Amino acid sequence: MNRDKMIERFLRYVAIDSMADDTATGCPSTKKQWDMARLLEKELNELGMQQVKTDEFGFVTAVLSANTDKKGPVVGFMAHYDTIPGFSGTDIKPRIIENYNGGDIYLGDASGLTTEVSRFPALKKYKGCDLIVTDGTTVLGADDKAGIAEIMAACEYFIENPEIPHCEIRVAFTPDEEIGTGIGHFDVAGWGCDFAYTIDGGEEGGLAYETFNAAKVAIKVTGVSVHPGWAKNTMINAVKVFGLILSMLPEAECPEHTEGYEGFYHLSQVQGSVELVTANMILRDHDRDKLEHKKAVVLAIADFINTKYGQKLVEMTITDQYQNMYEVLKDKQEIVDAAKTVMQKLGMTPVVEPVRGGTDGAQITFKGCPTPNLFTGGLNAHGPHELAVIQSMEKAAWVIIELGKHFAQ
């Protein structure tokens, strides 16, 4: 596996702004995601992959036929090419730190930010490794362009070493994963995989087959705006009413106070004035019954406030987003066990943890393609402290290669 070419690809991919837009309609949600899709289609063709195509929704797929007579499964590898909305993906300036010394990382004068070990203690494990960091003004895009580069490197390895047996491999590079709206447009049956792996995790060794159950809440608070000098017994300040909603949410059940299997309520966006406040909240829990309880809580808060004011000031619209893929994968443990086996073969200790979020795999698992999630070697996603560990990226590519070989037997 050519490590240098993998890193060259990764740096080329992160230079392309492919940020998603959670306020837009259509798929992809931004025209600039097409720049990434077209590049990936071109590179897959140049690599020698078969049946390369990009569909009307921006899904890029390709096939690497099996090179053995043994009847094996068709295995998919998937990664998304969009980046998180709200954090700039424009003019990314990655920097490689060779032989990282284990200390704090000053990102640069453009931002003045420092990635501190005290705040990001996982860095301690990577002393002596080579890191790719940002200048502190953008995300890096390791989530999930690292996964794309790793899949590309694995496919290139098999193409350049035709004597090494591998199963049929199908790849998919997807838009709008970060806003959860892309994968619903994907032709899972047409992709034709018996099962797949998303290459969309974090630290080295990560293996996940549990996700949250997820719902989003659209909140609307309608107030009455009048001149504050004549407001007595007339004004209803929507901002203050919204503050009451926040005060009634369980304080300990927010992302910054939860971990592991603990769910949360997360206010992700708010805007407004005296007359109107709109907000978005997400609800997450690995336990379906606990998610249903969270939905009941927010609806009860709305009912309480509307009763208190004697009119309908608060509207809550709840939409389910995805389910915990464990409900399917608990009966498909041979897929998970295969990933554990190859990691151990490569000298890694698998770290099996629930995903505290979602992946494209969560949705396609329920569409007939069981899909656990594997690590990429990226850390601190969704912000300017995002980085990638080159040695971990290399190991992620080898995991893909070994899985291709494993399922050829």
- Alpha-carbon distance of 292 to 9, in angstroms, equals 43
* Phi, then psi, of 401 in degrees rounded to 5: -60, -45
Q: Which amino acid is at 341?
A: T
Torsion of CA 175, 267, 218, 311, to 10 degrees: -170
- Alpha-carbon distance of 157 to 153, in angstroms, equals 6
CB-CB contact of 219 with 278 (8 Å): yes
Q: Which two tokens stand for residue 228?
A: 């504050």
Phi/psi region, residue 260 (left: phi>0; alpha: psi -120 to 50; beta: rest), is left
Residue 116 appears among annotated catalytic residues:
no
CB-CB contact of 74 with 68 (8 Å): no
Residue 82 appears among annotated catalytic residues:
yes
Catalytic residue among 82, 156, 253, 402: 82
Q: Where are the beta strands (DSSP E) in 182-328?
A: 195-199, 206-208, 213-222, 264-272, 276-285, 314-322
Q: Which two tokens stand for residue 326?
A: 């464990």
CB-CB contact of 374 with 228 (8 Å): no
Whats the size of the chain, residue-wise? 409
Catalytic residue among 21, 43, 177, 285: 177
Q: Which residues are catalytic?
A: 82, 177
